[in-house]
């Protein structure tokens, strides 16, 4: 199978591809409105860069990343925050999401020179990310949005999961996390 990844600024996406990504995102993330507020009232922040994954020149998977300084246990940590990860239903199981996540992780650690990658996911996706080397962490996540400050409790009984991918020799610090803004 011929898989190709392309990392670029979201603003530089060709108009037709951007429209296709928006349409597919609305289908896959149907609980998130055009204002990026989901059915739980959480407002999500879009990325700045993206990876587009192609199979034989057909668009099949996508993910976004933004750069953010967060506080972890009192320490500042620069992360590449990954969000909006999707594979088109007819392209699943072909390795496109893996290729996209590997390209995005490499971009975060080398081009962005971040300390770590960080993402949130549903319980059924945890094993996928762990198979790529991402580490699940159980912390309180403080985030700030239009309607105040909130805390997600990432624990065994939670439907919310956070995973990190330290870059280089970094050991992700212990302690609760303040993402200093909206979730992504």
Q: Please report the pLDDT score of residue 155 as a whole number.
A: 60
Mean pLDDT rounded to a whole number for the chain: 94
pLDDT of 129-154, one tens digit each?
Answer: 999 999 999 989 999 999 999 998 77
Give the CA count within 13 Å in the CB-facing half-sphere of 27: 10
Predicted TM-score (pTM) of the model is 0.92
3-state secondary structure of 10: helix
Of 118-127, 146-155, 159-168, 173-182, the poorest mean pLDDT is in 146-155
* pLDDT at residue 157, as a whole number: 57
Is a pLDDT exceeding 90 seen at residue 3?
yes
- Segment 77-84 shows an average pLDDT of 97
Which is more confident, 1 or 49? Answer: 49
Percentage of residues of the chain with pLDDT beyond 90: 90
Q: Is the pLDDT of residue 62 over 90?
A: yes
Tell whether the model's pLDDT for residue 125 goes beyond 90: yes
CB atoms within 10 A of CB 14: 10
> How far is residue 19 CA from its own chain's centroid?
20
Question: Going by C-beta distance under 8 Å and a sequence separation of 6 or more, which residues neighbour residue 175?
Answer: 72, 73, 74, 75, 139
């Amino acid at each position: 199978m011929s898989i190709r990844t392309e990392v670029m600024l979201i603003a530089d996406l060709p108009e037709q591809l951007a429209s296709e990504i928006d349409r597919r995102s609305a289908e896959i993330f149907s609980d998130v409105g055009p204002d990026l507020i989901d059915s739980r009232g959480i407002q999500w922040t879009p990325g700045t860069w993206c990876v587009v994954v192609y199979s034989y020149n057909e668009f099949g998977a996508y993910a976004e990343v933004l750069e953010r300084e967060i506080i972890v246990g009192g320490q500042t940590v620069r992360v590449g925050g990954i969000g909006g990860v999707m594979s088109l239903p007819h392209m699943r199981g072909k390795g496109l999401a893996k290729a996209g996540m590997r390209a995005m992780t490499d971009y975060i650690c080398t081009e962005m020179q971040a300390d770590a990658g960080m993402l949130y996911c549903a319980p059924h996706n945890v094993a996928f990310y762990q198979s790529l080397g991402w580490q699940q962490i159980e912390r309180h996540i403080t985030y700030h949005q239009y309607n105040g400050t909130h805390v997600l409790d990432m624990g065994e009984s939670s439907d919310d999961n956070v995973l990190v991918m330290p870059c280089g020799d970094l050991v992700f610090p212990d302690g609760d996390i303040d993402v200093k803004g909206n979730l992504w």
